[in-house]
């Protein structure tokens, strides 16, 4: 499911084949905002009651907690949403307001398999080999693994791995580059997933 922001900021190239939006739970956003205020406020109150600090210092701790809560609350709102758009010409992923735009022409193959990581929720990371991992509240057991022509990979954990992989395959097909999707069992190793994906991609190019 897309939204107005995605249609304006992520228009795609050619026909849009797939849109998806995911938002972090509101309770998590509230926790990130309220925890600093509660911690510093409680600390200030405890120190003030025991006489360890004066009233001014205790109020200062409380004010600092409220300020930090406001800052973290704003950041959590900005980075609480993730969006994916697949069009005939590109794969565009955003977490918050930033993320990669990958031309379909740069995609070698796509498959579903283990992500190789254990982190949950929303976030992004990159390893020493240049592989990028984008988490959008999906399962690490069934991640979408995109192999790029330059040799690196983009691994996405999303709630709709089958639909995303199918959209990327359709974009490849429309560019005349069909390849059979490889489905790897959840218990297979990352190396097995990569090997199977690359083998099928080579077969498709023949």
Per residue in 30-79, pLDDT (tens digit) is 566 666 666 666 666 666 566 665 666 656 666 666 666 665 555 555 55
Q: 60 and 79 in contact (C-beta within 8 Å)?
A: no
Residue 128: pLDDT over 90: yes
Distance between CA atoms of 160 and 2, rounded to whole angstroms? 13
Average pLDDT, the chain: 77
**How many other CB atoms are found less than 10 A from the CB of residue 26?**
10
Tokens, residue 91: 């794969």
The predicted model scores a pTM of 0.67
The first and second tokens of residue 163, run together, are: 């639909």
Place of tokens 């790897």: 184
Region 18-22 average pLDDT? 92
Query: Running DSSP on this structure, what letter comes out for residue 119?
Result: -
């Amino acid at each position: 499911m897309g939204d107005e922001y995605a249609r304006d900021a992520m228009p795609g190239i050619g026909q849009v084949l797939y849109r998806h939006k995911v938002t972090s739970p509101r309770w998590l956003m509230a926790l990130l905002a309220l925890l600093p205020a509660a911690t510093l406020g409680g600390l200030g109150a405890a120190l003030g009651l025991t006489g360890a600090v004066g009233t001014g210092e205790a109020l200062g701790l409380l004010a600092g907690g409220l300020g930090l809560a406001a800052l973290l609350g704003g950041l959590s709102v900005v980075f609480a949403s993730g969006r994916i758009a697949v069009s005939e010409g590109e794969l565009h992923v955003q977490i918050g307001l930033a993320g990669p735009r990958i031309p379909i022409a740069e995609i070698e193959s796509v498959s579903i398999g283990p992500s190789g990581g254990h982190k949950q929720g929303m976030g992004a990371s990159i390893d020493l080999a240049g592989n990028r991992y984008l988490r959008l509240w999906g399962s690490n057991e069934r991640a979408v693994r995109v192999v790029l022509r330059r040799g690196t990979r983009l691994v996405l954990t999303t709630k709709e791995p089958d639909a995303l992989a199918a959209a990327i395959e359709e974009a490849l097909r429309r560019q005349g580059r069909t390849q059979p999707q490889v489905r790897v069992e959840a218990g297979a190793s990352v190396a097995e997933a990569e090997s199977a994906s690359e083998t099928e991609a080579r077969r498709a190019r023949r």
